[in-house]
Amino acid sequence: MSSKEAEVETDSARNSLRGGPARLLSPVWIREFLIRHSMVVILILIIGYFSYRSARFTTPENLLTILVAAAPFALIALGQTLVILTGGIDLSPGSIIAVSAMTAASVAKQSDGNLALTVVSALLVGLAAGAINGLVVSRLNVPPFIATLGMLTAGSGIAYAIGNGAPINGLPASFGLIANTRIFGVQIPVVIMIVGIIVLAIVMRRTAFGMRIYAVGGNPMASRIAGINVRRVLFSVYAISGLLAGLSGVMLASRVISGPPNLGQGYELDAIAAVVIGGASLFGGRGSIWGTALGLILIQTLNNGLDLLIVPAYWQDVIKGILIVAAVGVDVWSNKRRK
């Protein structure tokens, strides 16, 4: 490199450094930054508003309450994230939760509180339901909406059939230990939620399996040409979604020490909302575990704050609906700007 070229590069570097702070403070950069991190900004504003309106909101007890409430939703939201990243959707987690909860309650009652057998049975039921979804979608090429809608309906009926149309009550007190035991002052579901988020985030960013999920969601045909077993990937994400829903079901049943056949009803909608609010595309190929975690915390924080302010449940649904539409609208608009 000549001395003249070196001087030109040095001058260019100096100009860029001089323009750096000015560029960071420019209205264009600020606007782009706010759009890119819109959900974080909204979460901060929500926390600030509820903290101002209610002194109870920022207490450690209430913050733990938010995490405990988020834990069962987190598991099915994580599974839903994997499914949505492949371009699919899973409508069945609510019913899988109910079937798993009823199975766990039935096994706990018959085995006199054998916790290991209880948890394993719930996980196996969830895994089996998810595997059926995966087989129907990947092997029979049934659209995910239809396949999981069928599981949603069938699962709901099976849950009621297990209890002969009634909840399973009179469970051993030890059944409640699954969800109510504390580790370092934090309940087990919260610990499982945190571990699940960290593990799946690493899997999606650092492993070949995670890369394959993104590839299948981005372009299934190109993925096949590249040698990826698309059917196996699709089967695995639905199986994982069912397994996590089964774990969520046994934790929810343990929390109330009962087996309600309608447990988990509508939970899949909140899970989908968390994934979408977290920035995942319903067309597949784009999204993240951390984004889903952010969307989940945002929804649970909103629910908790509105409850503290004694806002009626129907208005809470209206607010969440507006938030979902706004999140998707911002996402679509920002994508157009990038293109």
pLDDT tens digit string along 119-145?
Answer: 999 999 999 999 999 999 999 999 999
pLDDT band for position 12 (cuts 50, 70, 90): very low
Question: Is residue 309 in a domain?
Answer: yes
**What's the pLDDT at 182?**
86
Is 178:115 a contact under the CB 8 Å cutoff?
yes
**What's the pLDDT at 319?**
83
Q: Is the pLDDT of residue 194 over 80?
A: yes
Indicate the number of domains in the chain: 1
Question: Is residue 97 in a domain?
Answer: yes
CATH code, 286 = 1.10.3470
Question: Is residue 51 in a domain?
Answer: yes
**What's the pLDDT at 245?**
96
Question: Is residue 35 in a domain?
Answer: no
Question: Is residue 159 in a domain?
Answer: yes
Three-point CA angle 203, 323, 240, nearest 5°: 25
Written as one letter, the residue type at 285 is: G
Q: Is the pLDDT of residue 228 over 70?
A: yes
Question: Is residue 117 in a domain?
Answer: yes
Question: Where are the alpha helices (H) located in the chain, listed in sequence order?
Answer: 3-24, 27-36, 38-53, 60-85, 93-110, 115-138, 144-162, 177-180, 188-206, 208-218, 220-225, 230-256, 267-277, 289-308, 313-338
Query: What's the rounded mean pLDDT across residues 284-305?
Result: 90
pLDDT band for position 35 (cuts 50, 70, 90): low
Query: What's the rounded mean pLDDT across residues 13-32?
Result: 58
Extract the tokens encoding 138. Answer: 């990947």
pLDDT band for position 151 (cuts 50, 70, 90): very high
Question: Is residue 330 in a domain?
Answer: yes
**What is the extent of the structural domain holding 150?**
40-338
Instruction: Choose among 99, 206, 248, 68: nearest CA to 161.
Output: 99
Largest CA distance in the chain: 87
210-214, 241-245, 280-284, 326-330: segment of lowest average pLDDT: 326-330
Percent of the chain surpassing pLDDT 70: 87
Q: Render pLDDT for 72-96 as a digit per residue (tens, 0 to 9).
A: 889 999 999 999 999 999 999 999 9
pTM: 0.86
**How many Å apart are CA 166 and CA 154, to the nearest integer?**
17
Question: Is residue 28 in a domain?
Answer: no
